[in-house]
Amino acid sequence: MLATRYEAPRSVAEAVRLMAADPAARVLAGGTDLLVQFKTGVRRPSAFVDVKRIPELIDITIDADGLRLGAATPACVITEHVELRRLWPGLVEAVHLIGSTQIQGRGSVGGNLCNASPAADTTCALIVNRAECVIVGPGGERTIAVERFSIAPGRTVLERGELLVAIRVPRPAARTSDAYLRLIPRSEMDIAVAGAAVSVTLDADGVCTAARVAIGAVAPTALVVPDAAKALVGSTLDDAALKRAAEASSAAARPIDDKRGTTEYRRTIAGVLTRRAASIAASRARR
């Protein structure tokens, strides 16, 4: 017989105490990964620590510094947030791609990061926006760039007793925007074969002054592609620059071969999606 406890702490400190006291406990946010893993026997936690009763874990604040997104905030709250959609359309479209309406009612960005799938849709969009994970543990608070949070499929930097409480995203500069695209074999609700996010900053003449590119599902963790960003900076995002960025992403990809796509296909698609996402980000930044 299972002896799984259910805990619903009301504060981060209480949650950290519970997690530190029991290494086999798991944080429960939306449960769209964890409860499936529990039912299929992949994970047998000794306790579910439901963090959705902690106000700062389900809260969105946007101020002069940028966004603070509570890690367990459900996707539907994010996609309905008008200011969030205006400032980070690519991030919101990545969130919106995850699962059905029902899954959107439960799943969270923090959960997406902690599940640490190489194909997680939000990761690349967060990375290009220079997002940071705010982690609280028995030793206090630390922050880490999103690209360093997952260290392998299913594994993160979180140590015993540590909790991902929020994601912080700096406010974008003027004429900056982002986009995220993924390829799936169906029209909706599938796992990315490859994904790419791009953020670009343009000057008043439409010349790209800063860029970030990240690709997903083509390596054990999401990859930042500095060479693709370099190909965009200094250009007007013309076809030649977009082509160079695509080539850089294809070169950086180190995908596996599996039933959802071959190595060769994923490598090509990582480039195609980079080019298209850069083009969309640029058109948004021009508005």
Partner 1 sequence: MPKLHVEATINDEPAEFLCDPHETLLSALRNGLGLTGTKEGCSTGDCGACSVIVDGRLVPACLVLAPEAQGRTITTIEGLSSGDALHPLQQKFLEHAALQCGVCTPGFIVAAAALLDAKPNPTEEETRFWLAGNLCRCTGYDKIIRAVLDTAAHNRESAV
> Residue numbers of the site for partner 1 (CB under 8 A)?
1-6, 8, 28, 30-32, 35-36, 38-40, 48, 50, 52, 74, 76, 99-103, 105-106, 188-189
Residue 105 CA, distance from chain mean position:
17
Which residue number, 80 or 83, has a Cβ lying nearer to partner 1?
Answer: 80
Beta strands in 99-207 (DSSP E): 132-137, 140-145, 150-152, 155-156, 163-170, 176-183, 194-202
Which residue number, 78 or 228, has a Cβ lying nearer to partner 1?
Answer: 78
Q: Name the DSSP letter for residue 177.
A: E
Which residue number, 34 or 126, has a Cβ lying nearer to partner 1?
Answer: 34
- Work out how close the CB of 240 gets to partner 1 at its nearest, in angstroms, rounded to a whole number: 36
Q: Residue 244, exposed/middle/buried by CB under 10 A (0-12, 13-18, 19+)?
A: middle
- Work out how close the CB of 186 gets to partner 1 at its nearest, in angstroms, rounded to a whole number: 10
Which residue number, 8 or 219, has a Cβ lying nearer to partner 1?
Answer: 8
| Distances in whole angstroms, Cα of residue 43 to Cα of each of 28, 76, 148, 169 | 12, 26, 24, 31
Which residue number, 31 or 154, has a Cβ lying nearer to partner 1?
Answer: 31
Half-sphere exposure of 266 (CA within 13 A, CB side): 22
d(CA 157, CA 12): 18
Find, among 70, 71, 125, the residue nearest to 97 by Cα.
Answer: 125
